[in-house]
């Protein structure tokens, strides 16, 4: 028999806030990557900075998503799908 998970209003507000932070962080990282991509088309010397940024930001995005997923699972119960634990 499975037990339904319940989330209080304050817990839901906390999750919504964390989700907003993760979304904002992802949007910012992608905006930087897009800008560097455009710049590297005009100035090839930006390609190295783009590569470095992608290699730095991508794991941070995955980590943020994993933290949010963990917080959600703690409040709402486990989910059958999980995020990968590392970026290959």
What's the predicted TM-score (pTM) here? Answer: 0.68
Residue 27 confidence (pLDDT): 94
pLDDT digit string (tens) for 33-69?
Answer: 999 999 999 998 889 999 999 999 999 999 999 999 9
Look at the block and give the residue holding tokens 């190295």. 48
pLDDT at 59: 93
Instruction: Check whether 82 has a pLDDT greater than 90.
Output: no
pLDDT at 76: 75
Cα–Cα distance for residue pair 10/34, rounded to 1 Å: 36
Q: What is the dihedral of CA 11, 13, 18, 20, to 10 degrees?
A: 160
């Amino acid at each position: 028999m499975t037990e339904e998970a319940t989330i209080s209003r304050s817990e839901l507000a906390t999750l919504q806030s964390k989700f907003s932070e993760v979304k904002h962080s992802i949007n910012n990282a992608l905006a930087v990557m897009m800008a560097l991509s455009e710049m590297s088309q005009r100035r090839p010397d930006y390609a190295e900075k783009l590569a470095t940024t992608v290699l730095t930001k991508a794991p941070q995005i995955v980590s943020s998503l994993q933290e949010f997923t963990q917080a959600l699972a703690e409040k709402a119960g486990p989910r059958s799908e999980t995020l990968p634990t590392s970026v290959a």
